[in-house]
Amino acid sequence: MSKIGNTNSKRWFIAIMGTLLQVVLGTVYAWSFFQKPISIEYGWTNVETMWIFSLSILFLGIAAAFGGILLPKYGPRKLAAMGALLYAVGYLISAYAMFIASLPLFYIGFGVVGGIGLGLGYVTPVATVSKWFPDKKGFITGMVVMGFGLGAFVMSKVIAPFLIIMTDGNMVQVFLYISLVLLAIGIPASLCMKNPPKNFVPEGYTSPVKHTVNKKFKESLSIKESLLSTKFLGMWLVFFLNIAAGIMFISLQSPMIQDLLLLKDATMNTESLAMAGATLIAVSSLFNGIGRFIWGGLSDKIGRIQVFRLILGSQILVFILMMVTTNPWLFGGLVCYVLLCYGGGFGAMPSYVLDVFHSKLMPVVYGVILTAWSIGGIVGPQLAAFIRDFYAETPKMIGPRTYMAGAILLGIGFIVSLMLTNRAIGEGKR
């Protein structure tokens, strides 16, 4: 095989390993599978229990920002391996936290330690693989982050059910074994992360030249100027608002579908309800993953901001429809579409950052923009959990109030998206 052929095979291998690492990290999105049983077993409120998940997303974004800064210094292999290790250790600490019934230790384990691992692990394959594929930016970043969306499917339909049966529902043992599984898959995948050779250019690829861009300005732009630009602020807000609306369902979709089923048939047993919740998590996670791939690829064709406008605008209609539907099947379909769009934001944003800011700044700028995930991971789930606790005595009000809040967030995001363009920093108005 020629050298070019070897290099081409290598970049696809690295892309596949990066996707596998994201699947491991994306298991965090199966949290709603554990939310209800943990809350009931330990007597913690929905808000208290939801903070476990919210903290993990908070520290994910913070760690991703620092990871983008540390990536050039330590390299993708070390940073990715550290991320996979810390995420697995987070489950290990969480198992002990449940053993001694300590909610604060659960916050530290799953939330802080696990969240830091998620952030370091998440930003690394995205930034690394995009360097290997300048010819397929939207497609390849969509493929890699698709793995994160599929993680919930793997956890809710494969890993967690198997371990629950094996341990007879002992959540301490379940979390202990999950940590071992994550280590066994995550560490080997992370050790495959590697940057391309200097001045690497794929065969047959010619870098596009935009004559209207002030390239000197763009390339000399400092990190501070990039992060303080109105363009970055607008991108951050659009990303944050789409995340906040979508992550409501990731955090509570299992209890939500169970509530709807109980309204239809109050005689349904706990096992059937749990199975329905797990099925929705699994199916919607597929849409979350596929959405990253589809919307990321579509952004190559119609433009990044155009994709975000479609994502935000169409979801407003979906959330309004959710407010009036009582059909569990229709509700499940609408949740899947929301997750398709939620994932789409993650599929399109890395390429948007690459287009707007110079590629040398990509790890740092993309890492910082992931802080929108941190804040969204608090606002969305906590808002949904608060509504759930506040309307506990009137269950029929929980859904409509939650979807109304989501529609408002999306409406603000859509307005902001109309003020943004695909132009790079230094091209026309900033």
For residue 188, give every residue at least 6 positions away whose Cβ sits within 8 Å of its Cβ, in sequence order, or none: none
| CA dihedral (407, 412, 417, 418) positive or negative | positive
Instruction: Output the pLDDT for position 2.
Output: 43
Q: What is the mean pLDDT of residues 251-263?
A: 71
Other Cβ atoms closer than 10 A to 325: 16
Q: What is the mean pLDDT of residues 318-340?
A: 88
pLDDT over 80 at 69, yes or no: yes
Asked whether residue 329 is assigned to any structural domain, the reply reads yes
Q: Which residue has the higher pLDDT, 217 or 16?
A: 16
**CA–CA separation, 194 and 103 (whole Å):** 38
- Kindly report the pTM of this predicted structure: 0.76
What is the helix, strand, coil percentage profile of the chain, to 5?
Answer: 85, 0, 15
Asked whether residue 142 is assigned to any structural domain, the reply reads yes
Across all residues in the chain, what is the average pLDDT?
85
Asked whether residue 429 is assigned to any structural domain, the reply reads no
Percent of the chain with pLDDT over 90: 37
Could you say which DSSP state residue 193 is in?
-
- At 6, the pLDDT band (50, 70, 90 cuts) reads low
* Per-residue pLDDT tens over the stretch 73-85: 899 999 999 999 9
Q: What is the mean pLDDT of residues 34-39?
A: 86
* Per-residue pLDDT tens over the stretch 136-180: 777 787 788 888 878 888 898 889 889 988 998 899 999 999 999
pLDDT over 90 at 45, yes or no: no
Instruction: Output the pLDDT for position 1.
Output: 40
The domain of 398 spans 10-196+217-417
Asked whether residue 5 is assigned to any structural domain, the reply reads no
Instruction: Output the pLDDT for position 430.
Output: 39
CB 338 within 8 A of CB 318: yes
**CA–CA separation, 269 and 264 (whole Å):** 13
Asked whether residue 192 is assigned to any structural domain, the reply reads yes
pLDDT over 50 at 336, yes or no: yes
- At 182, the pLDDT band (50, 70, 90 cuts) reads very high
The two structure tokens encoding residue 265: 């048939």
Asked whether residue 129 is assigned to any structural domain, the reply reads yes
Identity of residue 7: T
Could you say which DSSP state residue 197 is in?
P
Q: What is the mean pLDDT of residues 59-69?
A: 87
Asked whether residue 95 is assigned to any structural domain, the reply reads yes
Could you say which DSSP state residue 113 is in?
I
Asked whether residue 430 is assigned to any structural domain, the reply reads no
Rg (CA), the chain: 21
- At 72, the pLDDT band (50, 70, 90 cuts) reads confident
- Quote the number of domains for the chain: 1
- At 9, the pLDDT band (50, 70, 90 cuts) reads confident
* Per-residue pLDDT tens over the stretch 375-412: 998 898 888 888 878 876 776 787 788 889 999 999 99
Q: What is the mean pLDDT of residues 357-381?
A: 83
* Per-residue pLDDT tens over the stretch 189-217: 999 999 888 777 777 666 655 544 455 54
CATH of the domain at 69: 1.20.1250.20
CB 273 within 8 A of CB 262: yes
Angle, helices 270-302 vs 31-42, to 10°: value is 150
**CA–CA separation, 222 and 177 (whole Å):** 45
**CA–CA separation, 123 and 125 (whole Å):** 6
- At 55, the pLDDT band (50, 70, 90 cuts) reads very high
Three-state SS string over 365-402 comes to HHHHHCHHHHHHHHHHHHHHHHHHHHCCCCHHHHHHHH
The two structure tokens encoding residue 251: 């955090």
Residue 148 CA, chain-centre distance (Å), reads: 6
Which span out of 43-52, 232-241, 264-273, 398-407 was modeled with the highest average pLDDT? Answer: 232-241
Instruction: Output the pLDDT for position 215.
Output: 53
Identity of residue 216: K
